[in-house]
Amino acid sequence: MADRESAEPATDEPTTMSNPEPTTTAETDSDESTGESAAAAAADRPAIAATDLSHAFGDVRVLDGVSLSVAPSEIVALVGPNGSGKSTLLRFLARVRAPDEGTVTIGASDGRARVGYLPQQPGFRAGFSATDTLEFYAQFVDDPVDVADVLERVGLADAADRRVDALSGGMTRLLGLGRALVGDPAVVVLDEPASGLDPGMVERLFDIVSDLADAGVAVVLSSHNLGPVERTADRVVVLDGGRFVADGDPRAVVESVGAADLQTAFGDLVATEEVTGR
């Protein structure tokens, strides 16, 4: 993918004082160096970082000490067999649930701490319209939300006044994506966002994901649609047996097993039997 550029924080202007003490060149260079170092540190700070996450459901250990760091403007695709723990990990990243062990830190350099989350099965009030639904969630964020714009972004402008119970399954998922975008989050976590979408909707979904990254948002998603993942993601993380078995850019993951594409590589990397996690 093309490199994305993020805005650099403005540097402070020097303060004018009466009868100032002479300033040496060395002091000025030191001040500038300190400011540049601080800016570089902020730019290098991950948007979200998970450290040593472990979790079990009863006797089944679903995650076993996994760590993941995602930078602003980065798209990370989490892939794995059904039941490999992808949804559990995404819930932890979205901070809707806490792991047995480990930490999740939101560290966006612009101070935004909100995470937008699309669960695998979004639920909405059936009698609400699409507009009513997003206006409801807009109450819980600090800044005003242009609900019409959000619906336009996710392709639901023509269904703005349609009741939720009259939306197709794919349209309901797009509404869930819209809910995740309310409040301009620094991080967006999407659990199987392409599930139930027709090919045109899938293409639009991944275009939206690319647009979010271009705007500086860190995106973590899971998907079985490995063709769009291979074309769109900056990194692919393969989860199997509660651990990461591969982590790299899509081409590197494919080449690591001598495969022709990500779909083939995935089959080579994971166990043939599905695990029993969630």
Would you give the distance in Å from CA 81 to the centre of its chain?
A: 20
> For the domain that residue 229 is a member of, what is the CATH number?
3.40.50.300
**pLDDT tens digits, residue range 202-214?**
999 999 999 999 9
What pLDDT was estimated at residue 31? 54
Chain-centre distance of CA 98, in angstroms?
Answer: 18
Residue 137, domain member (yes or no): no
For the segment 240-261, the average pLDDT, to the nearest whole number, is 94
Q: Exposed/middle/buried for 245, CB within 10 Å: 0-12, 13-18, 19+?
A: middle
pLDDT at 270: 87
Predicted confidence (pLDDT) at residue 15 exceeds the cutoff of 60:
no
pLDDT bucket at 271, cuts 50 / 70 / 90: low
Provide the number of structural domains found in the chain.
Answer: 1
The percent of residues above 70 in pLDDT, for the chain, comes to: 79
Q: Is residue 20 part of a domain?
A: no
What lies within 8 Å, CB to CB, of 198 at 6+ separation is: 170
- Of residues 120 and 1, more confidence is placed in 120
Q: Which residues pair with 56 in a beta bridge?
A: 61
In a domain? residue 168? no
pLDDT tens-digit map of 56-106: 999 999 999 999 999 999 999 999 998 889 999 999 999 999 999 999 999
Q: Is residue 244 part of a domain?
A: yes
Residue 25 lies in a domain: no
Mean pLDDT of the chain: 84
In this prediction, residue 42 has a pLDDT band, given cuts at 50, 70 and 90, of low
Minimum mean pLDDT range among 21-35, 56-70, 154-168, 262-276: 21-35
260 falls within a domain: yes
pTM: 0.81
Contact partners, residue 23, CB within 8 Å, separation at least 6: none
Angle value at C-alpha 33, between 29 and 37, nearest 5 degrees: 175
Q: What percent of the chain is predicted at pLDDT more than 90?
A: 72
Kindly tell me if the per-residue pLDDT of 276 is higher than 90: no
217, part of any domain: yes
Residue 201, domain extent: 48-113+186-269
Residues 133-154 have a mean pLDDT of 95
Task: Report whether pLDDT(5) > 70.
Answer: no
Q: How confident is the model at residue 274 (pLDDT cuts 50, 70, 90)?
A: very low
Q: Is residue 206 part of a domain?
A: yes
Write down the pLDDT at residue 89: 96
Backbone angles phi, psi at 39, to 5 degrees: -65, -40
Residue 267 predicted with pLDDT over 60: yes
At residue 118, the pLDDT reads 96
